[in-house]
Each structure stands twice: as C-alpha cells, then as structure tokens.
Amino acid sequence: MDALPVVLTIITASTPLLLAATGELVTEKAGVLNLGVEGMMLVGAIAAFATAVSTGSGLLAILVGAFSGVAVAAIFAILTLTFLANQVATGLALTIFGVGLSALIGSSFVGISLEPLPQLNVEFLSTIPILGELLFGHDVLVYLSFIMILLAGYFLSKTRPGLILRAVGESHDSAHALGYSVLTVRYLAVLFGGFMSGLAGSYLSLVYTPLWAENMTAGRGWIALALVVFGTWRAGRIAFGAYLFGAITILQLHVQGWGINIASQFMTMLPYIATVVVLVLISQDRTKIKMNAPQSIGKAFRPAK
C-alpha cells in the first residue's frame, strides 16, 4: 500500500487539532482555563465558510474566521476576567453559545459546497517525488500551524514577555505585586486562544470538509483541550499529540479498506476513546501534572485594591 496519501491525510486531520491546542496552550499558561474551544471553533468555521461563499476569497475567509474566534473569546474574557465569573461554567456557556450561534448563521449555508483552499504550489519543488509532495503542496494553514506552535514554544520558554505570561499563570498575586498587569496579560492570552480556535474552525470548513454542517467540529475542540494536558503544557509534545490523534482519526477511514469488518460507529469512537485513554495514562502521574500545570489555572484574580 502506498503510504504517502495516508500521511497527507493525517496532516489534514491533525492541523485543526494543532491550531486549537496551540491557542489553548498559551491561554492556559496565562492561568486561564477556557473550555469554550469547541464553541469558538464552530463560530470560526461558519464565519470563514460564509465569507468564502459570499466573497470567494480564501484569505479573507481565514481572517474573518480567526477574528470571529477572537470576538467570542472576548465575551469569555470579559465574563471571567472583569466579572470574575467561574471559568468552567463560562467555558461551557461559550460552547453552548457557539453551537447555537453557528447553527443559526449556518442554517442558510447548509448544502453549499466550496472549492478547497488552493495549495501552495512551488513550481517544480512539489514535483519532486515523495519529499516534494510531503513538504510542499499544502495549503497555507498547514504551514501556519507549524509556525505557530514553534513560535508559541519559543515565546513561552525563551522570551521575556513569555516569561511574564508564565509568571501570571503560575502566581497571579506575585506577578501583580511585581507590577505586571495580570488582567492585560490574561486578556491577550484569551484573545490569542480565540484567534487560534477561529483558525482551526476555518480550516475545518474551508479545507477538511469544505461545506457547513451543524456541529461539524464533532468534539475536536474538546480533544484539543485534552491535548494540552496530554502534552503536559509543552509545545513539542502537544504537536506530537495532535499528529497522534490525527493519525487515529484517519485510521478509521482506512481500516475498512484493509478488509477489516467493523461497524463504522466503532471506528468513529476511536478518537474519543483514545482521548480518555491518554488522559488516564498521563494524569496517573500526579506529580508530573502538578509540576507542569500552571498553578493559578482556573482561579479568578482580583487585585487587592
């Protein structure tokens, strides 16, 4: 069997997970738990799709998708950071809201299909056998997902603003006492998370399945959240996790081709069961989670004065 097409489909299945998980990594590192990834992705997906259908511009669609993610993330930020609302409850609300809003906007876009984003064809480079097809000839979001996780990893571990962001996530009281604005850092981190979730949603509706269907994210936002835990808040491991899950998702498409006769429902279950399994494996080591999780995660910050 030719392995190359399989690898290429794994890349498309992994990209939305990687994009969303990158955003959530930065958000959580700043000490905010945003469970609304699924909702933000859905809003990004429909916004990008609607833009692509009405303007025909892929680039504009991506931008609108990403900034729609920012817009709904802003609601979450105002509620949890300014109004000190419970982050878990607000994240759930964001998902319920995102499902409803995207379904409402999407009701007039059901059944329309779209030309997928153009591939980035570098003349003759992408005609090199195997390597050329593997490295070149993807759409722009695939490359962006790699760039963003690299940048996020570098930003968090090697730069001064990244250090401040981590300080805010580890101990907001100390960071505040040192004179850093906890509120500003967290707002920006949440909005960045929204941006990346919006991109992830755009990828789903523009490239992965270029059409709109209600709830088309099918739990990918939640899997992205699990990936951050799976990667113990480290960029490299999160990227590995995203590709692992991409591969599991793709597995279901190929198993029947290999002549194994299993009901499709059981294959569709695989990514969800795999998520539970990896969560169990990684969380078992309590000290490892404790050492890596941002200490202030999920806690509301209220300046003393």
Partner 1 sequence: MSQIFQFFPKFVLEPRLEVSGKWVILSPIIAIILTLFSGVIIFSLLGKDPFLALYTFFVQPLTTMFGITELLVKATPLVLIGVGLAIGFKANVWNIGAEGQFTMGAVFGGGTALLCQHTESILVLPLVLVLGTLGGLFWGAIPAFLKTRFNANEILTSLMLSYVAVLCLSYLVHGPWRDPAGFNFPESQIFSDYAMLPILIENSRLNLGTMFAILVVLVAWILMTRTIIGFQLRVVGLAPTAAQYAGFKQSGLIWLSFLISGGLAGLAGIAEVSGTIGQLLPSVSPGYGFTAIIVAFLGRLHPVGVLFAGLIMALSYIGGENAQIEIGLPAAVTGLFQGILLFFLLACDVLVRYRLSHRSVLASERRE
List contacts with partner 1 (CB under 8 A). Answer: 35, 39, 75, 78-79, 81-86, 88-90, 92-94, 96-101, 103-104, 106-107, 181, 183-184, 187, 214, 218-219, 222, 225-226, 229, 263, 265-266, 268-269, 272-273, 275-276, 279-280, 283-284, 286, 289, 302, 305
Residue with tokens 């003759």: 124
Least distance in angstroms from the C-beta of 76 to partner 1: 9
Least distance in angstroms from the C-beta of 253 to partner 1: 16
Cβ distance to partner 1 smaller for residue 63 or 103: 103
- Distance from C-alpha of 17 to C-alpha of 49, rounded to nearest angstrom: 18
Cβ distance to partner 1 smaller for residue 57 or 107: 107
Alpha-helical regions (H) of 56-108:
58-77, 87-106
Cβ distance to partner 1 smaller for residue 95 or 117: 95
Q: Name the 3-class secondary structure at 104.
A: helix
Least distance in angstroms from the C-beta of 226 to partner 1: 5
Burial group, residue 185, by CB count within 10 angstroms (0-12, 13-18, 19+):
buried
Cβ distance to partner 1 smaller for residue 5 or 100: 100
Least distance in angstroms from the C-beta of 161 to partner 1: 12
Closest by CA position to 206, among listed 47, 82, 68, 100: 47
- The C-alpha angle with vertex 268 and arms to 104 and 1, in degrees rounded to 5, equals 125
φ and ψ of 120, to 5 deg: -85, 90
Cβ distance to partner 1 smaller for residue 115 or 302: 302
Least distance in angstroms from the C-beta of 271 to partner 1: 9
Least distance in angstroms from the C-beta of 195 to partner 1: 17
CB atoms within 10 A of CB 263: 9
Cβ distance to partner 1 smaller for residue 209 or 252: 252
Q: Name the 3-class secondary structure at 113.
A: strand
- Distance from C-alpha of 63 to C-alpha of 104, rounded to nearest angstrom: 21
Least distance in angstroms from the C-beta of 68 to partner 1: 15
Handedness of CA 263, 267, 269, 274 (dihedral sign): positive
Contacts of residue 180, defined as CB under 8 A and 6 or more positions apart, other chains included, come to 164, 167, 168
Closest by CA position to 109, among listed 218, 213, 216: 213
Least distance in angstroms from the C-beta of 183 to partner 1: 5
Cβ distance to partner 1 smaller for residue 57 or 159: 159
Cβ distance to partner 1 smaller for residue 117 or 204: 204
